[in-house]
Amino acid sequence: MVHQHFKLVDVMTAAENIVIGQEKGVFTSKKRMAQEISALNEKYGLKIIPDKKIYNMSVSEKQSVEIMKILYRGADVLILDEPTAVLTPQEITALFDILRRMKEQGCSIIIITHKMAEVMDISDRVTVLRKGESIATVVTKETTPKQLTEMMVGGSVSLEIERPKVTLSEKPLLSVKNLTKRDYEGVNVLNDVSFDIYGGEILGVAGIAGSGQKELCEIIAGLDKANGGEITFDGDSILGLSPRAILKKGISMSFVPEDRLGMGLVAGMSVTNNVILKSYNRNRGPFLDRKFAKSLAEQIVSDFDISTPSVNHEVKKLSGGNIQKVLLGREIWLAPRVLITAYPVRGLDIGASYNIYRVINEQKKKGVAVLFIGEDLDVLKSISDRLMVIHSGEVIDIVDPEEVTKEDIGLMMLGHHREEGAV
């Protein structure tokens, strides 16, 4: 099985990771390992360099190592959990080539994915699961994305993501100039990042996972410090202020972080205690306003149609979609002027995802400036008004999503500027 989050030892080489836990006897022969690996490389069209350390590898290389681990064991059933979440379109094509080759060699492959295009592209048969139940297994050629979606959701949904036209604010609400951040090793994780977002606009951010998205969000929200640059909100500099100070300045910026249960919500607490996380301090005095908390929780539960047994239910026991709705509901209730969302639909089913897109679009219509960090390029292309592509902490370009193809975006995600053109 290839997990969504890789299980590799960073400081070891590819070869060491591959044979780990299965050497027979105490000694291993490096040479033999290398031979076996290159034999498998050839057989399946992989490109693994046995001596390369994992920490020097790109995400797609790491994934190849994960796949090789399984092949090396002689397995002929391969299970991949969301293998494409971290890959660029080009890398996905390469991965699918490998998978097809494995198929020809007689392997069985199970691929778990939430991207409809991939299902249609790679699979021979599709099994649709809903809430732990197998709904149906169909032959891919005989079905359509719409039909699959209906099976997933259990009703009909529109697969259109609308992009309403909204008049923009005159001046940018949030503007970031030359933002630079170095990690503790002195490596630039954000390098000279500049962009503006206007009210009533969704700025999509595309990039391979780990290209600086997390740092960017956390610096804007005041959770992390930058090494240089400027962030202004409606004309006021907010760089270096604590999250509390940013709130106190009357700047309403809502931040839906990537790590929902680890940062955005308190997993072990009730819905009520979670919705007041940012507003518990609004009344004076040392006591919590329990009445307000309860009514707010009930309001958010009904506004966002959250299915929970009660507002006293622990959030970690809710489903992914409902967890996300609690978080978004709380942030939106704060009536933000800037909404920062990172991977807001990660792990959600299609129905829940489209609900979230709708909510975000509603915010845009209200004149909120939205920074939307995503991973599915189809979604990013259709929801964003402008699309910023980042690579290794640098802004490669900000483009009109209508004017570029997914392949163009993919190349930019790898760091190629559009002007340079050819690869």
Nearer to other proteins, 159 or 267 (CB): 267
Say how far residue 380 (Cα) sits from the centre of its chain.
Answer: 11
Q: b/e string for 241-262 if b means 16 or more Cβ within 10 A?
A: beeeebbeeebbbbbbbbebee
Q: Using alpha carbons, select from 52, 90, 44, 93 the residue that is nearest to residue 70.
A: 44
- To the nearest whole angstrom, how small is the minimum distance from the Cβ of residue 274 to other proteins? 9
Contact between 85 and 58 (Cβ < 8 Å): no
Nearer to other proteins, 242 or 307 (CB): 242
- To the nearest whole angstrom, how small is the minimum distance from the Cβ of residue 178 to other proteins? 25
Helix axes 320-333, 350-365, angle to 10 degrees: 10
Of 56, 288, 305, 400, which one interacts with other proteins (CB under 8 A)?
288
Nearer to other proteins, 236 or 259 (CB): 259
Nearer to other proteins, 242 or 295 (CB): 242
How many angstroms separate the most distant Cα atoms in the chain?
71
Nearer to other proteins, 347 or 415 (CB): 347
How far the first Cα of the chain sits from its last, in Å, is 33
Contact between 247 and 278 (Cβ < 8 Å): yes
Nearer to other proteins, 148 or 315 (CB): 315
- To the nearest whole angstrom, how small is the minimum distance from the Cβ of residue 363 to other proteins? 20
- To the nearest whole angstrom, how small is the minimum distance from the Cβ of residue 265 to other proteins? 7
In angstroms, the CA 366 to CA 166 distance is 9
Instruction: Count other C-beta atoms under 10 Å from residue 96's C-beta.
Output: 16
DSSP 242: -
Q: If DSSP codes are grouped into helix, strand and coil, which group holds residue 122?
A: helix
- To the nearest whole angstrom, how small is the minimum distance from the Cβ of residue 14 to other proteins? 30
Nearer to other proteins, 12 or 107 (CB): 107
Nearer to other proteins, 278 or 418 (CB): 278
Of 93, 105, 281, 295, which one interacts with other proteins (CB under 8 A)?
281
Say how far residue 226 (Cα) sits from the centre of its chain.
Answer: 23
Interface positions, 291-330, toward other proteins (CB under 8 A): 309, 317
Nearer to other proteins, 68 or 253 (CB): 253
Helical (H) or strand (E) element with 32: helix 30-44
Interface positions, 217-276, toward other proteins (CB under 8 A): 221, 223, 242-244, 246-247, 255, 257, 259, 262-269, 273, 276
Of 30, 73, 145, 280, which one interacts with other proteins (CB under 8 A)?
280
Examine residue 145 and tell whether it contacts other proteins (CB under 8 A).
Answer: no
Instruction: Count other C-beta atoms under 10 Å from residue 277's C-beta.
Output: 14
- To the nearest whole angstrom, how small is the minimum distance from the Cβ of residue 320 to other proteins? 14
Helical (H) or strand (E) element with 217: helix 213-220
In angstroms, the CA 279 to CA 273 distance is 10
- To the nearest whole angstrom, how small is the minimum distance from the Cβ of residue 262 to other proteins? 6
Q: Which stretch binds other proteins (CB under 8 A): 165-173, 184-192, 278-286, 401-409?
A: 278-286
In angstroms, the CA 344 to CA 361 distance is 13
Q: How many residues bind other proteins (CB under 8 A)?
A: 30
Interface contacts to other proteins, rule CB under 8 A:
221, 223, 242-244, 246-247, 255, 257, 259, 262-269, 273, 276-278, 280-281, 286-288, 290, 309, 317
